[in-house]
Structure 1
Amino acid sequence: MTIHQMECFLEAARTLNFTEAARRLYISQQGLSRQIASLEKELELRLFDRTTRDVRLTRSGELLLWRWRDIPKEIQASIDMAREEGERSKSRISLAVVGMSGIVEMAGNLLADYMAQDPDTEFDIFEFTDVKDLSSHNADLVMAVTFIPSFEQIGEQYGATSIARLPLYYVVSRNSPLADKEELTLKDLKGQTMLCLFKNFFAGAEMRLFEFISNGENILNKARFFENVNSLELALIADEGIHIGFKEFYHNYGNRLKMYPLPNSTNQAYANVVVLWHKQNENRFENFIKFLKNLSN
């Protein structure tokens, strides 16, 4: 059964005049008759009683007219909605944001600012903690944090821009003996455990940063990795180790933690909040990229 057969039946059922129905559908009367005959054969139902003087619906035909009468309108409405959605999707941008509360909040404010000046653009935003999340969503842009500015080496097929710099800190529990010090040195951290987030994504970025600052010396005892922020923060509060992070990261328990500038107060290190994208697709959202690049100027 085809939509065209349905339309032929409905027009003939409304007019009860095959000649008039064919005229309204811009087809021949013979063509209309063939479509209805084919429909009746497929359904194994007689839908019309036809004589030389008039055309009447059978009881089956009346039932189909009652149940089918709005279907063509619904089909057309759904097609119109699909086309409208297709047009809207051309201006929709998907953004993957690393699942850190402070960074997600930053992304929300960023998108709100852009949409205020370009209300026709829509965004799909999702959080990720693993590279596998990115491949499954196939985002247009990725917003993440780098502790060492290595994003400049991502290859010619990608574009990247830094949109914010966040001061980095050694973070310890206020219950830790280290919290009594005015300033931490590498010597104070000897034997500590480094608490790190998202092993699969950052691949121990905090650990690599610490090794970089300590010139690769074996100061720490070991590293522990956590799959979510809350678990890491609870371990910090319980004085199970230290963490390298930034103030915007600690959304829930910051008042129970103490932070020391890394590596020291006179030589502050920073993390970069970066946005990356495939260069082959950037024409579609070039205005948003210009907006991002203006943030760093």
Structure 2
Amino acid sequence: MFMDMKTQCFMEAAKCLNFTKAAERMFISQPALSKNIASLEADCGMRLFYRDKKSSVRLTPAGAVMLCELQKAVKITDGILEKARMAEAGEEGHMVIGLRFGQIFNYDVKAVLNKIDDEYPGIEIEKISGGYRDLRTWLEDGTADMIVTYEEEAGLISDATWEEVAVLDMGFCVPKENPLAAEKTLHIRDLEGQKIIVPDEREIFTVYDRFREQCMMEGFAPLEIYAPDLNHKNLMVEMGKGICLCTDDVMINRSPNVKFFKCRELGKVKLVAAWLKDNYNPVITFYHQMYENLYRNER
């Protein structure tokens, strides 16, 4: 327990009601015990014992209250230590991880989470999915302990820290019935006059601005139609309503109704695992340590 010598001497003497026995149990001299108790009484500004004889004593009302409350504190402290030991051993824990709609688990993230499941069955990893805005909100309000998102998105969150989990190719997802789906490659200039599906502006991250700038450099403004969120955007593409920008790690790219084209002009984006700096969930520490072993040290 986290108590100083004065407090420990008081508690032992209060239990024994005998300074000599209390000193013996603490393996110190009786004068040393008496000195510590006297110092504690001076600190508190009140008597904690009635000293009728040299070694036999009784608790004052203040001393009785002090003993009772300290015993409660010991139980609380012991409980804290036990929880800390269980967390250290990975015997219990819970972490909520937020993912983008339609995201396919990056290999390394999947490997780390599976390793936690295998080696620490007492730890529960809960997965929730939403749009970019949802992920930012969930991390900020504590709904999620960690989110997997793009680095640009993580940079919008106050007091967030993150680490790279993958580098992804940007490209276009084209409905199979669109004539462009027959092409071997696509360039931004090929999208002039094509409907480009983008999510609500609150869901848009910086790659869309980069895309618009590149379209303007090619001499045209993209013909954009809006979807309320990422889920609707993916559905609209599958229904043939237009083309969307996406990375190569989303489920829609595996749909038989669409074709994915990598686009060198759009470049790559970094996928990161982000969490708040003041989130002390021990499972994040487990994740980070395992990730370092599986990802950093293998590269």
TM-score (norm 2): 0.56
CA distance in 1, matches of 2:260, 2:83: 54
Q: How is 1:143-158 mapped onto 2 (pairs within 5 angstroms)?
A: 143=166, 145-147=168-170
Q: Could you tell me whether the CA contact under 8 Å between 2:172 and 2:261 is conserved in 1? A: yes
The separation in 2 between residues aligned to 1:117 and 1:291, in whole angstroms, is 20
Contact 2:162 2:272 in 1 (8 A): no
Matched residue, 1:58: 60
Counterparts of residues 222-241 of structure 1 (less than 5 Å): 222=223, 228-230=229-231, 232-233=233-234, 236=237, 241=242
How far apart are residue 118 of structure 1 and its match? 5.7
Alpha-carbon distance in structure 2 between the residues aligned to 1:37 and 1:111: 55
Aligned-pair CA distance for 1:63: 3.1
Which residue in the other structure is 2:261 paired with?
Answer: 262
User: Do the aligned partners of 2:98 and 2:147 also contact (CA within 8 Å) in 1?
Assistant: yes
Q: Return the offset for 1:86.
A: 5.9
Partner of 2:32 in structure 1? 31
- Deviation (angstroms), 1:18: 0.8
Q: Tell me which amino acid in the other structure corresponds to 1:139.
A: W
Which of 155, 180, 186 aligns to 1:132? It is 155
State the one-letter code of the partner of 1:55.
V
The Cα shift of 1:19 comes to: 1.6
Residues 128-182 of structure 1: per-residue CA shift (max 9 Å, x gap): 35131578332344335232xxxxxxxxxxxxxxxxxxxx65335x9xxx65887
Deviation at 1:48, TM superposition (A): 1.3
- Indicate how the Cα distance of structure 1 residues 217 and 66 shifts in structure 2: closer, same or farther if over 3 A, else same: closer
Number of residue pairs aligned between Structure 1 and Structure 2:
248
**2:173 paired residue number:** 170
Residue 50 of structure 1: how far off its partner (Å):
1.2
Contact 2:47 2:60 (8 Å CA) reproduced = yes
Q: How far 1:49 sits from its partner (Å)? A: 1.3
Q: What does residue 279 of structure 2 align with?
A: none
Q: Which AA in structure 1 matches 2:74? A: P
Which amino acid counterpart does residue 287 of structure 1 have in structure 2? N
Contact 1:49 / 1:58 at 8 angstroms: preserved in 2? Answer: yes
CA distance in structure 1 between the aligned counterparts of 2:249 and 2:271, rounded to whole angstroms:
17
For residues 169-200 of structure 1, give each alpha carbon's deviation from its aligned partner in whole angstroms, at most 9, with x where no partner exists.
Answer: 5335x9xxx65887368798432343456654
Match for residue 69 of structure 1? 71
8 Å CA contact 2:49–2:57 kept in 1: the answer is yes
- Give SS of 2:233's match: helix
2:212, 2:222 within 8 Å by CA — same for their partners in 1? no
| 1:249 to partner: Cα distance | 2.6
- Rounded to whole Å, the distance in 2 between the matches of 1:144 and 1:79 is 40
Deviations 1:179-238 (A, max 9, x none): 588736879843234345665453656668x86xxxx74465356788951353466579
Distance 1:72 1:98, change over 3 A: closer
Q: Kindly provide the amino acid, as one letter, of the partner of residue 289 in structure 1.
A: Y
Query: Displacement, 1:15?
Result: 0.7
What is the CA deviation profile of residues 64-119 of structure 1, one whole-angstrom value per residue up to 9, with x for unaligned ones?
3233224335435534644664676xxx9x9x987353234866644344446765
The 5-angstrom pairing of residues 242-257 of structure 1 reads: 242-245=243-246, 249-250=250-251
Structure 1 residue 258, shift from structure 2 partner: 4.2
Q: Give the Cα separation in 2 of the matches to 1:247 and 1:202.
A: 14
Structure-1 separation of matches of 2:101 and 2:35? 65
Residue 147 of structure 2 aligns with an amino acid whose one-letter code is: F
Larger Rg: 1
Q: Percent identity?
A: 21
For residue 80 of structure 2, give the secondary structure of its aligned residue in structure 1: helix
Structure 1 residue corresponding to 2:80, chosen from 78, 81, 84: 78
User: 5+ unaligned residues in a row in structure 2: which ranges?
Assistant: 126-144, 274-287
Give the direction of change, closer, same or farther, for the CA distance of 1:181–1:276 in structure 2 (3 Å limit). closer
Give, in angstroms, the shift of residue 33 of structure 1.
Answer: 1.9
State the alpha-carbon separation in 2 of the partners of residues 289 and 8 from structure 1.
Answer: 51
Does the Cα contact within 8 Å between 2:106 and 2:166 map onto a contact in 1?
A: no
Letter in 2 for 1:60: A
